[in-house]
Amino acid sequence: MKSGRNLRDLAIELRRQMHAKQDLLAPSKLLLCETAESGACALTLAIDGERRSYRVREIALHQIAEKLKIPFGYFERMRKEQPGLFDSNVNTWLQVNGAENRLIRTLDGRVRAFLSDRYRRLDNYDVAEFVLPILERLPGAELVSAELTESRMYLKYASRQVRREIAPGDVVCAGVVVSNSEVGWGHLTVEPLLFRLVCSNGLIANELVLRKKHLGRTLQIQDEAVELYKEDTLQADDKAILLKVRDMVEAAVSEVTFRLITEKLQRTLGIKLTGDPVKSVEVLTNRFALSEDERSGVLRGLIEGSDLSGYGLVNAVTGYSQHVQDYDRATELEGIGGKLLALSTHEWREIAEPA
């Protein structure tokens, strides 16, 4: 499992972002897209009579294309090859949809999210402030990984007192992953985690998950104004959401949940990869859309682990996640390890005995 940041560094960055971010609520018709020859895109708007320009980050570019119903491949081709045509397209559709209000989330003077006026803010700082004391009270609590990426915050904890030996000398502990997105790139989620002590692999059992969408009431503004959007955090409905998070954290590391997941993991010991392991990994690659580098890394891990079983394949996937540079993708690979546990006998046979 990738280590990410320690709690002190995470807290410092969360606090910095809390003061550096700004939310704007504006009608689409008051937004203007301006793109340089280099392809650098900016949104310009007037706030209190002053024109301000904000460079647009990648996630927000995806969201602008989605909101304006422009296929992203064509959107990017225009931006990079024909910036004038790009601005003409984007600004035309902003005007056509002019009455629609947009919540524009900025950080360090850049647009990081382009959202609807129904988006419900549930910020990382508030989530961390609420959930960290709960995580620290888990039996034998240990922070095994934490990170703050462009798209999400992750808190991964293991409970070392809740453990089970899967094979002789091979012990896993119960754990939990709490993650949240401030930019509309996913929900607030709580997922059970298995943490393997012998190699620090992490497996996320994502079929047992709480997800909470960031949707709420429609935000209201004057038709011809851009407003700095502010709202008191942890209102009554936010508190209700976070109380559910508390319950799910406790359920994720419970003996019942842990036993259910470890029994599925233990069953993979009996699944023998009787076919060509290269073909087995190819089937896995096609099923879970792995990249070529990921395919090679998983195959190398499977062979080096000298365990041609379902269990060996699960560990090859979760083990390779530690070598992936992108933290979001590393976490997705930990989730693929969990998805392997949910495969049916027939699906496992396709991997274990490839044609």
Note whether 280 and 351 are within 8 A (CB).
yes
pLDDT over threshold 50, residue 223: no
123-174 per-position pLDDT tens digit: 899 899 999 999 999 999 999 999 999 999 999 999 999 999 999 999 999 9
291-311 per-position pLDDT tens digit: 999 999 999 999 999 999 999
d(CA 153, CA 10): 9
b/e per residue, 15-38, with b = 16+ CB within 10 A? eebeeeebbbbbbbbbbbbebeee
Note whether 198 and 296 are within 8 A (CB).
no
Range 32-37 contact pairs with CB under 8 angstroms and sequence separation of 24 or more: 32/91, 32/94, 33/64, 33/86, 33/87, 33/90, 33/91, 33/94, 34/87, 35/79, 35/83, 35/84, 35/86, 35/87, 36/83, 37/83
For residue 19, give Cα distances in angstroms to 52, 110, 230, 262: 19, 14, 13, 42
What is the reported pLDDT for 234?
47
Note whether 155 and 179 are within 8 A (CB).
yes
pLDDT over threshold 90, residue 55: yes
What is the reported pLDDT for 314?
96
Q: What is the β-pairing status of strands 141-148 and 153-167?
A: antiparallel
Quote the distance between the C-alpha of residue 58 and its chain's center: 15
What is the reported pLDDT for 232?
52
Task: Select from 193, 315, 341 the least CA-distant residue to 263.
Answer: 341
225-251 per-position pLDDT tens digit: 445 545 554 455 677 777 888 888 888
What is the reported pLDDT for 228?
52
* 335-347: average pLDDT: 95
Q: Map out the domains of the chain as residue ranges.
A: 18-116, 124-215+233-260, 271-352
Q: Quick one: DSSP state of residue 269?
A: G
Q: Please state, rounded to an integer, the average pLDDT across all residues of the chain.
A: 89
* 83-108: average pLDDT: 92
What is the reported pLDDT for 231?
54
Task: Select from 141, 109, 99, 104 the least CA-distant residue to 119.
Answer: 104
Q: Quick one: DSSP state of residue 45?
A: E
d(CA 324, CA 331): 9
- For residue 107, the SS3 value is strand
